[in-house]
Amino acid sequence: DITQHYVFVEEAVDRLEAFIKEQQPIDAIVSFSQGSLITNILMAALQRKSLPITWRLNVFFCGGWIRDPNYTFLESCPLPTVQITGGKSDPYFIGGEPSLEPYFPNLLRIEHDDGHVFPTSQPRA
């Protein structure tokens, strides 16, 4: 369990929220690594403000775990979410990336062995 202290979070959340509003309607957010993290922080912020999440699906590649308790979810989020992890070869998650199931009970988790990248090896590519 690693706890971190994030900086410049509000600026990143504001930019992502503005982009989503400009592009609506959005069916799914597909993100990689820190993009998945900031998407989760945005959803947690919307949850704290009792505001709706306006998209219908998350697809997270290699990331999304919030390690700063100041920005995490207060309760689980029902939004369907796909988590694609880089397996034990992902250098950012020693032993493999933890499941996002505590955040998303409606989670589909897929693992590949290519590390902290989009999968390129068969059969997961």
pLDDT tens, residue by residue, 64-103: 889 899 999 999 999 999 999 998 888 888 788 889 999 9
Residue type, 14: D
Closest by Cα among 66, 71, 58, 57 to 98: 66
CA distance 33 to 78: 21
Residue type, 112: H
Quote the pLDDT of residue 91: 84
- How is residue 78 written in tokens? 């029902």
pLDDT at 107 over 80: yes
Quote the pLDDT of residue 93: 80
Q: Quote the strand ranges of the chain, DSSP E.
A: 28-32, 57-61, 81-85, 107-111
Instruction: Tell me the average pLDDT across 104-109.
Output: 96
Quote the pLDDT of residue 64: 87
Query: Which residue has better confidence, 125 or 36?
Result: 36
pLDDT digits (tens, 9 = 90+) for 4-57: 888 889 999 999 999 999 999 999 999 999 999 999 999 999 999 999 999 999
DSSP state of 117: S
Q: What are phi and psi of 12, to 5 degrees?
A: -65, -45
Quote the pLDDT of residue 95: 80
Are 13 and 38 in contact by the 8 Å Cβ rule? The answer is: yes
Quote the pLDDT of residue 96: 84
